[in-house]
Amino acid sequence: MCSWCWGFVPTLAAIESTYPNHQVQLVLGGLAPDSTAAMDQATRTYVQQAWRDVAKASGAKFNFDFWTECSPRRSTWVACRAVIVARRFHLEREMFEAIQHAYYLEAKNPSDDEVLADLAQQLEIPRSLFLEELNAPQTQRQLEDDFELRRRLNAHGFPSIGIIKAGQPILLHSGFCTPDHIYFDALQ
Of 60-64, 118-122, 173-177, the one with minimum mean pLDDT is 173-177
Per the model's pLDDT, the better-predicted residue between 187 and 124 turns out to be 124
pLDDT at 16: 87
Do 183 and 172 contact (CB within 8 A), yes or no? yes
Do 15 and 182 contact (CB within 8 A), yes or no? yes
Domains of the chain: 25-158 (3.40.30.10)
Residue 124 pLDDT > 60, yes or no?
A: yes
> How far apart are the C-alpha atoms of 18 and 39, rounded to whole Å?
39
| Beta bridge pairs of residue 169 | 164
